[in-house]
């Protein structure tokens, strides 16, 4: 079994996680996103895969659906890894029936583990720069966790506190909307398409009281300036979404948010592992936001934890999709529709 040992914690890379769970599946269905979930029951193992296609621009998304698998497939026994082949074969057939143009997979199998099954099923490996995670054992004493960080992180946490930044739970929909605005602002800056507001609202209203998610915001002078969405599964805590307003970065709200999120996960949610995902292998020296420097500074063990794969399902439709995206007027119209759709 491919595992990581963090002191006395044995962490399996392909264990079931929030992003392959029924809760995540149900939340996606409630915002009318197309989902496909396949379970394979074997005598000595259980495996599943969940793929979803976002409904961004309704007609366009129906004509050119792209399916994604986030952190899957998952299995509970490495003795039966051939079940991955079965899952990939079945998911390929299912997305074809939906007119899918491409299938993108972020799998919890670090390269080259399971790569032969992906290549056999027509997938190509994609290098994205987000294959690593920082895994932190938060069963340690709070002082141990602090001293395990780099000095600069402790300085930033103290600076945020001295400047009057406070971290609190999202208590009402007004605060949730403020966090969502910051999330959309972050999406523009980092060039990703946000989930719709209804997805945030469903997670907050239906899953936070079940301790499946937690929304926290950083507040300064009564203004929400950053936020974080933590997801929980069994003993694992993952900040899935982190968002901030870059003109407040000098107050270090992101450092304080991660720290308070670790403490919440440890003391309130009884988590053992805190995992900062989507890390590059090295520092960014091009003047962009250095995610490696930020995420590695909290004292975790840096592990190459996942691999990204892509398969073109419908080459002709995929070419048309790419050609449309190169037309400036279409891109402008597309972005305009997206902005309207992601307003709350």
Rounded to 5 degrees, what angle do the CA atoms 315, 118, 105 make?
70
Task: Output the pLDDT for position 5.
Answer: 47
Q: What is the pTM of this model?
A: 0.92
What values do phi and psi take at 214, rounded to 5?
A: -150, 125
Domain ranges in the chain?
3-129+307-341, 140-271
Q: Outline where DSSP puts E strands in 173-222.
A: 213-220
DSSP 284: -
Give the list of residues 6+ apart from residue 192 with CB closer than 8 angstroms, or none.
Answer: none
Which of 323, 214, 328 lies closest to 264, judged by CA?
A: 214
Task: Output the pLDDT for position 285.
Answer: 59
140-271 matches 3-129+307-341 in CATH topology: yes
First vs last Cα of the chain: how many Å apart?
A: 45
The total number of residues written for the chain in this structure: 344
Question: What's CA 38's distance to the chain center, in Å?
Answer: 21
**Number of other residues whose CB lies within 10 A of the CB of residue 148:** 15
The answer to whether residues 169 and 215 touch, using CB atoms and an 8 Å cutoff, is yes
The two tokens of residue 191 are: 């060039």
Task: Output the pLDDT for position 99.
Answer: 95
3-state secondary structure of 293: helix
- Please tell us whether the domain made up of 3-129+307-341 is placed in CATH 3.20.20.150: no
pLDDT in tens, the chain (344 residues): 444 444 444 455 567 789 999 999 999 999 999 999 999 876 666 789 999 999 988 889 999 999 999 999 998 877 778 899 999 999 999 999 999 999 999 999 999 999 999 999 999 999 998 999 999 999 999 999 999 999 999 999 999 999 999 999 999 999 999 999 999 999 988 888 899 999 999 999 999 999 999 999 999 999 999 999 999 998 999 999 999 999 999 999 999 999 999 999 999 999 999 999 999 887 765 655 678 899 999 999 999 989 999 999 999 999 999 999 999 999 899 888 888 877 77
Task: Output the pLDDT for position 1.
Answer: 40
Q: Which residue has the tokens 């190509």?
A: 124
What values do phi and psi take at 48, rounded to 5?
A: -155, 160
Q: How confident is the model over 258-281, as pLDDT tens digits?
A: 999 999 999 999 999 999 999 988
The two tokens of residue 214 are: 């937690």
What architecture (CATH level 2) is domain 140-271?
3-Layer(aba) Sandwich (3.40)
The answer to whether residues 51 and 91 touch, using CB atoms and an 8 Å cutoff, is yes
């Amino acid at each position: 079994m491919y595992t990581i040992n963090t002191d006395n914690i044995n962490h399996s890379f392909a264990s079931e996680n929030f992003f392959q769970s029924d809760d995540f599946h149900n939340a996606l269905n409630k915002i009318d996103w197309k989902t496909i979930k396949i379970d394979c029951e074997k005598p000595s193992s259980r495996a599943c895969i969940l793929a979803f296609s976002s409904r961004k621009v309704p007609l366009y998304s129906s004509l050119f659906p792209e399916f994604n698998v986030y952190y899957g497939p998952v299995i509970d026994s490495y003795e039966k890894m051939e079940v991955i082949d079965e899952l990939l074969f079945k998911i390929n057939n299912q997305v074809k029936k939906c007119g899918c143009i491409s299938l993108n997979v972020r799998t919890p199998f670090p390269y080259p583990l399971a790569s032969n099954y992906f290549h056999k099923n027509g997938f190509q490996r994609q290098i994205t720069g987000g294959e690593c995670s920082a895994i932190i054992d938060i069963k340690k004493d709070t002082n141990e966790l602090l001293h395990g960080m780099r000095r600069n992180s402790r300085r930033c946490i103290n600076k945020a506190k001295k400047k009057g930044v406070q971290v609190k739970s999202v208590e009402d929909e007004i605060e949730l909307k403020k966090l969502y605005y910051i999330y959309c602002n972050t999406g523009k800056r980092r060039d990703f398409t946000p989930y719709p507001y209804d997805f945030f609202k469903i997670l907050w209203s239906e899953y936070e009281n079940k301790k499946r998610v937690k929304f926290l915001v950083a507040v300064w002078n009564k203004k929400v300036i950053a936020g974080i969405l933590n997801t929980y599964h069994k003993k694992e805590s993952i900040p899935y979404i982190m968002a901030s307003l870059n003109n407040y970065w000098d107050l270090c709200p992101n450092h304080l948010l991660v720290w308070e999120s670790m403490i919440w996960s440890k003391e309130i949610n009884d988590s053992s592992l805190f995992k900062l995902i989507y890390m590059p292998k090295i520092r960014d020296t091009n003047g962009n936001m250095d995610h490696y420097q930020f995420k590695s500074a909290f004292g975790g063990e840096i592990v190459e934890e996942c691999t990204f794969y892509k398969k073109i399902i419908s080459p002709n439709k995929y070419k048309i999709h790419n050609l449309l995206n190169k037309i400036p007027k279409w891109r402008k119209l597309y972005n305009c529709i997206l902005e309207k759709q992601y307003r709350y």
